[in-house]
Structure 1
Amino acid sequence: MTDSAAMRELLGEEARETQALIDSLTSNIDDLSSAREGDNSDDEHDPEGSTLAFERSQADAVLIQSRDRLTQIAEALERLDDGTFGTCTSCGQAIPAVRLEVRPYTPMCVACAS
Structure 2
Amino acid sequence: MDAVTAARMLDDREREVVQRLGRLREDDDSLRHDRADATADDEHDPEGSTLSGEWAQVDALRRVAEAERAEILAARERLASGVFGVCERCGGPIADARLEARPFARFCIACAL
> TM-score normalized by structure 2?
0.93
- Cα deviation digits, residues 66-88 of structure 1 (max 9, x gap): 00111100111111111100011
Alpha-carbon deviation of 1:46? 2.0
Structure 2 partner of 1:3 = 2
- Cα deviation digits, residues 28-77 of structure 1 (max 9, x gap): 10110111015324221222211111111111001001001111001111
Stretch of structure 1 that moved more, 5-14 or 47-56: 47-56
- Structure 1 distance, partners of 2:91, 2:48, is 48
Q: Which amino acid in structure 2 is aligned with residue 78 of structure 1?
A: E
Asked if 1:111 is matched to 2:110, the reply is: yes
Q: Which amino acid in structure 1 is aligned with residue 89 of structure 2?
A: S
- Structure 1 distance, partners of 2:110, 2:53, is 35
How many pairs does the alignment contain? 113
Structure 2 partner of 1:52 = 51
- Structure 1 distance, partners of 2:2, 2:9, is 11
> TM-score normalized by structure 1?
0.92
- Structure 2 distance, partners of 1:19, 1:93, is 31
Question: Residue 39 of structure 2 aligns to a residue in which SS?
Answer: coil
Identity of matched residues, %:
39
Which runs of 5 or more residues in structure 2 are unaligned? Answer: none
Q: Which amino acid in structure 2 is aligned with residue 93 of structure 1?
A: G
Which runs of 5 or more residues in structure 1 are unaligned? Answer: none
CA-based RMSD: 1.2
- Structure 2 distance, partners of 1:67, 1:73, is 10
Structure 1 partner of 2:30 = 31
- Structure 2 distance, partners of 1:111, 1:60, is 32
Question: Residue 37 of structure 1 aligns to a residue in which SS?
Answer: helix
Structure 2 partner of 1:73 = 72
